[in-house]
Amino acid sequence: MAYMPTIYDWRSTCRPRGFVFVAGAQAVSGGLSVGGAYGSNPEPGGRFVIQCEFPAFGDAQAVRDWSWTMSRAKGGAVFRVALWVNQQMVSADDLNGNRNGATWSNGQTWDNGQRWQFDPFEEVLEAALAGSTTIKFRSANHGQIVQIGHVIGLMDPDTAKYDFSHVVEDVEYDGGPATATISPPLRKRMAVGTLVRFRPRCLVTVQDPESLASPLEYNKFARSGGVRLVEALV
């Protein structure tokens, strides 16, 4: 029986004040070049890292969620994180969407005031093997909006259980389809029709669980240091 890790959802109340998604490649020292420059070589297929800073949580629900997250992280748990939105994502304006989410066709929200989740995507046009670095996807629906530096997401088509995020290192538009070079490389094969998400999700573990914990200020506010989430290879 294949081993499938238990995947926990990162709590929606635990949003960072700021984060950055840095793709692959721990660099290994390379040595002195002919010109006298000290260079480094990227680790092939290195994991991405998300560096976050969390604010102090005062809300009781958020502190409880933080308490759960800290304890789970200590066990090396794998979390599914729906990446919060920063300037690394394709902007909602380019996607002709309402960043707050869509309403029902009659213009109304749900009873509790919430809207449908904003989850824009395009489709992959050509199958790609695991370990390769290029994917080709449609750009007809939204136009040529994906640019270098954007973070996009993919979902494993075989099990529909795993999510991956990548940074676009290079993108070419040849008429309609976009061919993007991504980092880190594809962890699973991609089939035609797999969704490329513009509000990506990913699977991570907390690099250093100790960084999450620090005594609650006045026994009320949960504070933490900088947190590194590193890609979980499942």
Partner 1 sequence: MSFETELLDALGAATDTFDTRVTLRNCFFYDFTGDPLRVWDGEGILHADGEEWIGTMFRGPGGVTLANLHQTPEFRDPRDQASPEYEFGLPYLSKVDFEAIQADQAKAEGREVTRYKVIVKQGEGLRPDTALEFADKFVIQSVRFFEGLDGLPGESIRMRRASVVCRSVEIGRSLAPRSTYTDLSQQERARVLGENPDSGCAYVATNARRTFEVV
Q: Is 228 in the site for partner 1 (CB under 8 A)?
A: yes
Q: Is 126 in the site for partner 1 (CB under 8 A)?
A: no
Q: Is 4 in the site for partner 1 (CB under 8 A)?
A: no
Residue choice 67, 133, 213, 223 for contact with partner 1 (CB under 8 A): 133
Options 78-86, 108-116, 129-137, 138-146: segment touching partner 1 (CB under 8 A): 129-137
User: Read out DSSP for 159-216?
Assistant: TS--EEEEEEEEEEE-SS-EEEEEESPPSS-B-TT-EEESS-EEEEEES-GGGG--PP
Q: Is 45 in the site for partner 1 (CB under 8 A)?
A: yes
3-class secondary structure, 69: helix
Residue 151 to residue 146: CA distance in whole angstroms: 9
Residues 58-97 as x/- pattern, contact with partner 1 by CB under 8 A: ----------------------------------------
The residue (of 131 and 149) whose beta carbon lies closer to partner 1 is 131
Residues 161-200 as x/- pattern, contact with partner 1 by CB under 8 A: --------------------x--xxxx-------------
Burial code (b: 16+ CB inside 10 Å, e: under 16) for 2-36 equals: eeeeeebebbeebebeebebebbbeeeeeeeeeee
3-class secondary structure, 29: strand
The residue (of 63 and 168) whose beta carbon lies closer to partner 1 is 168
Q: Which residues contact 218 (CB under 8 A, 6 or more apart)?
A: none
Instruction: Count interface residues toward partner 1 (CB under 8 A).
Output: 30
Rounded to the nearest 10 degrees, how much is the dihedral formed by the CA atoms of 186, 191, 193, 198? -10
Q: Is 43 in the site for partner 1 (CB under 8 A)?
A: yes
Residues of this chain that bind partner 1 (CB under 8 A): 26, 28, 30, 33-35, 39, 41-47, 49, 129-133, 181, 184-187, 207-208, 228, 230, 233
